[in-house]
Structures are given as structure tokens and as C-alpha cells.
């Protein structure tokens, strides 16, 4: 009976992981970090298009495909290194400094933090570049082994406001998974 129970548990777990690795999301792993995530309603997960850029959490509207100039959401993990940066606040500051160098004149606005369940608080900011018609909402989260940047990228403030519920739905689905480094 014990062998059947172990076999069934292993089968059930592999079936769950296979089913969860569809266009809706799944388990996404990297060096020392992992997370579970689901695409917002009406969106699909693309784990390959930007993989070479370190992004395996790319989402766009069902029936469309990825374009750098079109509506999309992505998750960008950054592995923590001892002592740099020492906190989420420092990571955000470093990220903003880098971002501002590539897009001078961009307008930044702090938003209220978003609570997505016990232990999941996201620091949110809007970034507007009206010269380039480039509007983003960015959420920051600190996991044990990595920092995570969540980006909603749009072409207008109206589109961003219309898609903010989908962005928050994605944040609600995010579950950090503790993973031992190899």
C-alpha cells in the first residue's frame, strides 16, 4: 500500500506540474529562486520569447504576440548577491537610477503599496514618458534569494489604467518558492 501511495503522489505531482506549465503560467525557476504564477484572465504566458534576456515571465493579451512597443507584462528576477544591494529600498534606488539614465525626463510617481496576501507587499510606481508614448507600472518584491520586478508596459495612460486590474491579478497569483542554490 505504501508503494502505491508514493507512486500516486509522484504521479499527481508530475501531472500538476505538467498541467500548470501551459499558456496560463506555472513554476518558473532560476539560479536560487523559483516562483509560481498565473496569467491574468485573457492573457497568456510566454516562457521563451525573452528567455535570453532573463525574462521567463512574459505575458501578453490572448490572440496577440509579443512586441516591445505593445501592451505586455513581464517579471524580471535579479539574484541577490551578498551585500549588494543591501535592501529592497537600495535595489529600487539602483534600478531607478539605471532607468533614468536610459530615459531622461521620465516622470515617476509613487503609488500606495499593494498587499497581495500574507507576506506579499509590492512597492508600486508609475513611470511616464510622454515623448516616447511609453507608460509603465512597476512593482517590486523581495524574496529570500532574489528581487523581482513586475512591469506593466503600455502605450498610453488610459491603456495602463484599463490594464492595471490584470497587473494586480498577476501580483495576486505570484507565489515565491524557497529554493536551495545548487
pLDDT < 50: residue spans in the chain: 1-21
- Answering whether pTM is above 0.95, one says no
Beta-strand ranges (E) seen in 20-133 are 25-30, 33-38, 43-46, 57-61, 72-79, 107-110, 114-115, 121-129
For residue 135, the model assigns a pLDDT of 94
Class at the top of the CATH hierarchy for domain 23-177: alpha beta
Instruction: Classify the phi-psi angles of 32: left when phi > 0, otherwise alpha if psi is within -120 to 50, otherwise beta.
Output: left
Are the CB atoms for 79 and 95 separated by under 8 Å?
Answer: no
For residue 103, the model assigns a pLDDT of 79
Are the CB atoms for 115 and 121 separated by under 8 Å?
Answer: yes
For residue 1, the model assigns a pLDDT of 43
Cα dist from 7 to 11, 41, 80, whole Å: 6, 34, 37
For residue 69, the model assigns a pLDDT of 79
- What is the C-alpha separation between 95 and 155, in angstroms, rounded? 21
Q: Kind and range of the H or E element at 101?
A: helix 88-102
Amino acid at each position: 500500500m505504501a508503494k502505491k501511495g508514493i507512486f500516486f503522489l509522484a504521479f499527481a505531482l508530475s501531472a500538476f506540474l505538467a498541467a500548470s506549465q501551459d499558456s496560463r503560467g506555472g513554476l518558473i525557476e532560476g539560479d536560487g529562486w523559483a516562483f509560481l504564477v498565473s496569467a491574468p484572465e485573457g492573457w497568456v504566458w510566454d516562457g521563451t520569447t525573452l528567455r535570453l534576456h532573463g525574462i521567463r515571465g512574459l505575458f501578453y493579451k490572448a490572440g496577440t504576440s509579443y512586441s516591445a512597443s505593445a501592451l505586455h507584462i513581464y517579471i524580471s528576477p535579479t539574484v541577490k548577491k551578498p551585500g549588494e544591494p543591501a535592501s529592497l529600498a537600495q535595489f529600487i534606488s539602483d534600478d531607478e537610477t539605471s532607468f533614468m539614465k536610459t530615459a531622461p525626463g521620465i516622470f515617476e510617481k509613487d503609488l500606495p503599496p499593494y498587499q497581495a496576501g500574507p507576506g506579499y507587499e509590492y512597492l508600486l510606481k508609475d513611470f511616464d514618458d510622454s515623448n516616447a508614448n511609453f507608460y509603465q507600472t512597476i512593482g517590486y518584491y523581495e524574496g529570500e534569494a532574489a528581487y523581482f520586478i513586475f512591469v506593466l508596459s503600455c502605450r498610453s495612460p488610459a491603456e495602463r489604467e484599463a490594464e492595471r486590474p490584470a497587473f494586480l491579478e498577476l501580483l495576486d497569483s505570484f507565489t515565491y518558492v524557497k529554493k536551495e542554490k545548487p
